[in-house]
Amino acid sequence: MEISKKTGVQFGIMVNPGGTVSDDAGLRRFIDSLDPYPVYRGLQPMSPGWSRNFSSETIKLLDYVEMDPQTIPNGNGYGETLRIWNFDTYVDDPQKFMETYMAHTLEVIENNEPLNIFGWPLFLPVCIARDYYTLWTEEKMQKIIAALKKRGLAVEINDLAHTPHERFILMAKEQGLKFTFGSDTRDQKAGRLDYCKYVAKKCNLKKDDFFLPKRALNKL
């Protein structure tokens, strides 16, 4: 709240399902803990199947659900579950990885669980990030955008990961998709959003291009 008052950024606070937020009671405690503050309340599941632990009534108390495809089962030739934000992520075959990554991405987007925002779009693990513009072909990007449009999801512009790039944002904007900013951090860097603002300006994003939760917040 101190950062919010200083910067004028209105925050949404997300929690990952699991631990103390593994059932309705835990999720309601999280929601109740945010009630005194002018913030949106969100959930950030890590893997498909998360919603079986919560009732639809409790999920509806959230302002949004955001999910990304960063946790990839059988993501390499060694059968490992890859958490691709980790620096030591091991990719043995980039092309095979991209096939698995694309299938997992579409599973995240197209499943029938509640979802409002698609996070960390086009992020690649460090070991193959140098081939970003080769691996993310126009065809792959268009397939993701078509799935997002069909589902009516917003696209996160992530300040921590600096994703997605300008080309993807312009393609998504042309298809009428909405966007959000995410600082994706729990420290003093929250709300800086320098990459988000830079690339949004380059892509000429306006207020109407952004997703806003329906619930009105109190003033700071």
Q: Are 109 and 118 in contact (CB under 8 A)?
A: yes
pTM of the model: 0.96
H or E stretch including 151?
helix 138-151
pLDDT score recorded for residue 220: 62
Q: How confident is the model at residue 219 (pLDDT cuts 50, 70, 90)?
A: confident
11-54: pLDDT as tens digits: 999 999 999 999 999 999 999 999 999 999 999 999 999 999 99
Helix (H, G, I), strand (E, B) or coil at 47: coil
The top-level CATH class assigned to 2-206 is: alpha beta
Percentage of the residues of the chain whose pLDDT score is greater than 90: 92
Alpha carbon distance 42, 127 (integer Å): 31
84-112: pLDDT as tens digits: 999 999 999 999 999 999 999 999 999 99
**pLDDT of 186 over the 90 cut:** no
